[in-house]
Amino acid sequence: MRSIHRQQDRRPRLLWNLLFFLCTAVFLFSGAMLARDLWRSAQERRANQLLAEQVSGTDYTTLWKQNKDMAGWISIAGTPLNYPVMFTPDEPEYYLRRGFDGQEALSGSLFIGEGCTPDGNHVIIYGHHMKDGSMFGTLPDYASADYWRQHPTIHFNTLAEPGEYEVLAAFYSRIYEQEEAGVFRYYQFTDLSDPEQFSAYIQQARASALYDTGVAAAYGDRILTLSTCSYHTEDGRFVVIARQKDTQE
């Protein structure tokens, strides 16, 4: 009887030991993965910083020679947003998980979306919402009107010319199902050459805006849209729309 009791006593102890071992293994594995991702993020931030250091004013020749997929440069003064913008029309999301050098990167690169061109009437730029604030990690800060007041201007320079844009609207959105009606699918307005399409886009942008910036857009203005993931809902997005300022303004 005593041996039976001893065997019964051992079973819960063995189960607890096994559970402890499994929890420890999971903890160590998770910690190792986190440390790896943090290290990779730091390396990627440093690589992008080195790219920025190679830029001289609005001359991007040196970088373009390194990678001819580069279409321009985007920056917002006083924020970490200061990156090259890539353009691969045959495979628009090629740089979704690739750095400027074409190698795998957690943060990816900023890139021009399908249906748009760097010098088109509407440029949609996509980028990851990184927790460390890199890429479009600070874009959702535009949910605050105070943040917009501090950073009302976006610079998007193509290889051909500089461009200064003023923020027109910032809003939360998501990727909508095909059957959903009466929604603003901003990502489908890739060409605004038609006056009615232009008007519809601007009207819906202003209606979706979290606050009024007082910025208006007229047909013929070049429009810049920045899009990143948002976690307020499934397939959520955060969007900032801006219009290019006239050189005489």
Tell me whether residue 165 is in a domain: yes
Tell me whether residue 249 is in a domain: no
pLDDT at site 44? 84
Looking at the fold, whether 83 and 194 belong to one and the same domain comes out as yes
Number of domain units in the chain: 2
pLDDT at site 18? 59
Q: At 73, phi and psi to the nearest 5?
A: -140, 135
Q: What is the pLDDT of residues 157-192, one digit of tens each?
A: 999 999 999 999 999 999 999 999 999 999 999 999
Percent of the chain with pLDDT over 70: 82
pLDDT averaged over the chain?
Answer: 89
State the residue for tokens 């993931």.
229
Strand, coil or helix: 241: strand
Please report, for residues 35, 76, 187, the alpha-carbon distance to residue 126 in angstroms, rounded to integers and kept in the order given. Answer: 27, 15, 10
End-to-end Cα distance, the chain: 95
Amino acid identity, position 127: G
Amino acid identity, position 164: E
Looking at the fold, whether 100 and 118 belong to one and the same domain comes out as yes
Which CATH number characterizes residue 116's domain? 2.40.260.10
Looking at the fold, whether 27 and 124 belong to one and the same domain comes out as no
Task: Indicate the pTM of the whole model.
Answer: 0.85
What is the torsional sign of CA 116, 174, 184, 178?
positive
What is the torsional sign of CA 239, 243, 244, 247?
negative
Looking at the fold, whether 235 and 187 belong to one and the same domain comes out as yes
Looking at the fold, whether 135 and 232 belong to one and the same domain comes out as yes
pLDDT at site 13? 66
Looking at the fold, whether 43 and 155 belong to one and the same domain comes out as no
Looking at the fold, whether 25 and 138 belong to one and the same domain comes out as no
CA dist 214 and 222 (Å) reads 17
Last-in-domain residue among 36, 53, 70: 53
Tell me whether residue 146 is in a domain: yes
Looking at the fold, whether 207 and 125 belong to one and the same domain comes out as yes
CB neighbours of 241 closer than 8 A, spacing ≥ 6? 167, 168, 169, 170, 186, 205, 223, 224, 225, 226
> Which of 58, 52, 50, 51 shows the shortest CA–CA distance to 164?
58
The average pLDDT across 124-141 equals: 96
Domain range enclosing 68: 61-244
